[in-house]
Chain A
Amino acid sequence: MKNILETKELIKSFGGVHAVDHLSVNIQEGQITGLVGPNGSGKTTLINLLSGFSLHDGGSVFFGGAERKKITPWENQIYNITRTFQQIKLFDQMSVLDNILVIITERNPFLALFERHSKYHISQAEDILKQVDLFEKRFHNAGELSYGQKKLLEIGRVLAMDTKIILFDEPFAGLFPEIIKKIENIIKALKQEGKTIVLVEHNMNIIRNLCDHLIVMDAGKLLAEGHPEKVLTERVVLEAYLGE
């Protein structure tokens, strides 16, 4: 399997502290790769670097083999990558329907000026909302939704982007079991469609249940990598988690 996404000696430092320290990982295409590690181990920072949310200070990132020197967020669509956010970043004062419509309409500003609400776009958005059980709430403002519904809307946005690579940043955090079940099925469905998924998560059952491959990070470095069953039993991983 060709690695669709690879980093070499990736560095990101905040005032001298290396949040990501010479990290070299590669993500296999069509697989669900788990990304685990104690808090502050640089997981979210890595996601931010891969999605251009913040710029890396050193090392290089390869998309499908080609290096992406300066990762600008608006080129993510061209490089077929999208993400969800750990702290929810929805368009609060816009309706749920608009939150999805914004994702599927014209990107070029001049064309966007002349693009009207077409029936096709609205039905497409409504299908996506049905997938995440938010169809009845489509005219509510995103800000008025419950926490779980907001997480579902973020996933709806990712579905609307329909990219090859999807980075989930703790999508399950703080949700009720039935919603977790729902999101797991969505992710499994995405995997059937051949999408590559990176999943940042703390809950070990979900990791074992979903992930084909697991990366463990600690203090910005790669601690261990491999099949979840094998990796989770390694002594060094347990120590990092349980602390000496």
Chain B
Amino acid sequence: MNKTAKIVVGIVVVVLVIFGLSSMSKKSGTDSETVKIGFMGPLSGDTANIGQNAQAAIAIAVDEINNAGGVLGKNVEVIYEDDGCSGATAANAVSKLINTDKVVAILGAACSGATLGAAPIAEAAKVPMLSYCSTNPTVSQAGDYIFRNVPSDFFQANYAANYLMGKGMKNVALLTSKDDWGDGLKKAFTDAFTKAGGVIVSSDSFDPASKDLKAQLTTIKGMNVDAVYFAGYTDPSIAGLKQAHDLGIKAQFFGADAWDDTKIWSELGTLGDGAMFTVVGTNSSADFKAKMKAKLGKDDLIYCSNYAYDGLKILAAAINKADSVSKTAVKDALSKIKYTGGVGSAEVMFDNNGDPTTAAYIIKRALGGKLTEVSQ
């Protein structure tokens, strides 16, 4: 590599760096004819399906809002950022949304880890942030500017514990994913179930990246428990339920909201029969389901999308109510808002922690690859 080659490489490098830096500043020109709202969700990694699904719902919501005259007479523009379901990337993304795109409010994130990572930065910059899917209990204390329209796992675990006790399943084994979501549910369920008089026979966990739960399930099989509280995301759940079927475990498998993903049941088919899980109730209107099917090309609706759709509508309503784009005004309007008619929960009001006051849960059961709602 003689002298000239070094110079050529040098020039190429400098051009790339300048391009990198300039393209950043170009983007931050503040054109004020739109109201900018930031969106954060997992668009890559193993929970990418949740993010992409929510992105489709938001596209529908934006069109509906803008067709109805937008917000404060201006159109709503949503800027999508990938948080990769991790705290660090989320912090990076939220800093870009707040500082470069100067968004008025942020809709995100889905994974609790991402929300927890981004929350302190949004709180410091006093930008209201509404999470549409983070159910981890610690998000409640994340700050005054941090809201969420989905209830915390605390409620979900209580609901599941009481349901199982109601069905007379006293001995339960826990099998939870080793991440913030899984551990949050484990702690909440253990407290709720022991308080309700149940017995936690064993409490094991698995590495979210590994799909091999055979050893854990074998130990559970030896304990002949009434039910197994199995908190896992899509991939480990498919593998786990399949392996449980291989082992012939008869216990009732009970999961959490991540099981509301049709891919699990279409893959498992009849192997998933009998599995139940709690999920936040949604009253998706037929119109909303149709639009989603059109947008996605398949009727693969994840409940987070309902809450993302509502979330954007709530933020738009709050900005209208605050009648200004000042972030603090929007935050105050948000805390006092009363939103009805959403596809998520029928009525949304926030308590002083920024959590929804009501939490309507339903239980779904899998049969032949299809999900049916179970009446309480």
Q: Do chains A and B directly touch (beta carbons under 8 Å) in the complex?
A: no
The residues of B with any CB-CB pair to A shorter than 8 Å are none
